[in-house]
Amino acid sequence: MTDTVSHVPRRTIPFAQEAGGALAIAALGAVGYFLFPDDLAFLTRLIGISFLVLSLDLVTGFCGIATLGHAAQFGVAAYAAGIACVRGVTDPLALLGIGIFAGTLMGLISGALIARFRGLPQLVLSIAVGQLVAALANKLQWLTGGSDGLSGISPGKVFGIYNFDMYSRTAYLFSLAVLIVVFVALTRFVRSPFGLMCRAIKDDDLRAKMIGVAVYPRLVIMYGVSGAVAGVGGALTAMSTGVVGLDSVAFERSAEVLVMLVLGGAGHLWGALAGTVIFMIFEHIVAAANPFHWMTLVGVLLIGIVVFAPRGLIEPVLSLFARFRKGRAS
């Protein structure tokens, strides 16, 4: 019984957790920037995808919604930003705003449909929504470029100063800065009353109703927030790569980010980030070493993770932390 007291969160410096998160990402980002200057384009793409995984974590990890259509939010935002850029809006921050807006809208629409259901119907519906968006992106050739993709996206200077250069330095640093801002905001958001209530809904939605919570509107709002985060990733990816293809709304993208989330640990923001980093770097290295059988190796990695750390890689790390803290307290 005495050990229970050690679980009391100690009074800490305000915003310590947020500052810690920001510094950790900045430090990791600096490592990437200085040690791998030739891989910045890849690392920028990694950051873009990490927004989508964080976004998926919000609905799957925190609300328990099963979805295999989450790339829709990312892709719609990428297309929106790309189309706006091709048609003359070149300010990166404005394009980011357009991406966030489109992602939010797509999130709210998807959420309004998907959050009505539970279990398998929900999963099937999420796939349907994703496929619908993918089909539209293909058919609306005059707008999206169809299967050729949308190219010629050349955004202007960031803050009117930094040009998007061919070494992706600007794109990388810009993406990293946005990631830090979004991550800090999300760290606060998931601990807010709204975020906590979402985790409660995941545990038992009837109980949530019985304390007076209107569950459905909350899930739709969460989907909107999730869409905004995915939208950030979509817009950044469109700007940094200069093209938007059908792959950004494809089913494979949705499935892949779910795998990254499970790998890292759903329900934890750090889990989402860790999953993205590990999966994409693993894929990058293995695909370069063995272009024909790399998917096999990814499969083996996944089986290993599911067998030995079914709740994601972050879980053993967290329990190690907890044990360390308990040891120090006693």
Partner 1 sequence: MTNLLEARNVSLAFGGLKVTNDVSFKLAAGDRVALIGPNGAGKTTLVNLITGDLAPTAGHFFMGDDDITSVSIPERVQRGLVRTFQTTRLFANLTVADNVALAVMQRKGISKRFFSSSTELPEVRAEWREILGNLGLDRLAYRKVIELAYGQQRLIELAIGLALRPKVLLLDEPAAGVPHDEAPKILDAINALPADIAVLMIEHDMDLVFKFAKRVLVLSAGRLIFEGSPKDVTADHEVRRAYLGSYADARRVD
CB of 231 to partner 1, least distance (A): 17
Q: Does 192 bind partner 1 (CB under 8 A)?
A: yes
| Contact call for residue 188 and partner 1 (CB under 8 A) | yes
124 burial class (0-12, 13-18, 19+ CB within 10 angstroms)? Answer: middle
Measured between alpha carbons, how far is residue 49 from residues 23, 120, 147, 274 in Å? 20, 26, 21, 12
Q: How far is the CB of 120 from partner 1 (least distance, A)?
A: 23
Residue 9 C-beta: closest distance to partner 1, Å: 7
Q: Does 8 bind partner 1 (CB under 8 A)?
A: yes
Q: Give min distance, CB of 322 to partner 1, in A.
A: 11
Say how far residue 154 (Cα) sits from the centre of its chain: 24
Nearer to partner 1, 148 or 204 (CB): 204
Residue 189 in contact with partner 1, rule: CB under 8 A: yes
Question: How many residues belong to the site for partner 1 (CB under 8 A)?
Answer: 32
CB of 194 to partner 1, least distance (A): 5
At 214 the three-state DSSP class reads coil
**In the complex, minimum distance from the CB of residue 193 to partner 1, in angstroms, rounded to a whole number:** 4
Q: How far apart are the first and last CA of the chain?
A: 13
Q: SS3 for 152?
A: coil
**Tokens 């019984």 belong to which residue?**
1
Other CB atoms closer than 10 Å to residue 34's CB: what's the count?
A: 8
Which CB atom, from 75 or from 312, has the smaller least distance to partner 1? 312
Closest to partner 1 by CB, 221 vs 255, is: 221
Helix (H, G, I), strand (E, B) or coil at 265: coil
- The region of 96-104, 110-118, 174-182, 210-218 touching partner 1 under the rule CB under 8 A is 210-218
Q: Which of 212, 252, 307, 327 binds partner 1 (CB under 8 A)?
A: 212
Question: What is the closest distance, in whole angstroms, from the C-beta atom of residue 225 to partner 1 in the complex?
Answer: 8
Is 214 a binding residue for partner 1 by CB under 8 A? The answer is yes
Q: Considering the rule CB under 8 A, would residue 22 count as an interface residue with partner 1?
A: no
Query: 115, exposed or middle or buried, with CB in 10 Å at 0-12, 13-18, 19+?
Result: buried
Q: Is 4 in the site for partner 1 (CB under 8 A)?
A: yes
With beta carbons less than 8 A apart as the criterion, state whether 238 and 154 touch. Answer: no
The angle at the Cα of 57, spanning 54 to 63, to the nearest 5 degrees, equals 145
Q: How far apart (Å, rounded) are the C-alpha atoms in residues 148 and 124?
A: 28
Applying CB under 8 A, the residues found at the interface with partner 1 are 1, 4-5, 7-9, 185, 188-189, 191-197, 199-200, 202-204, 206-215, 218
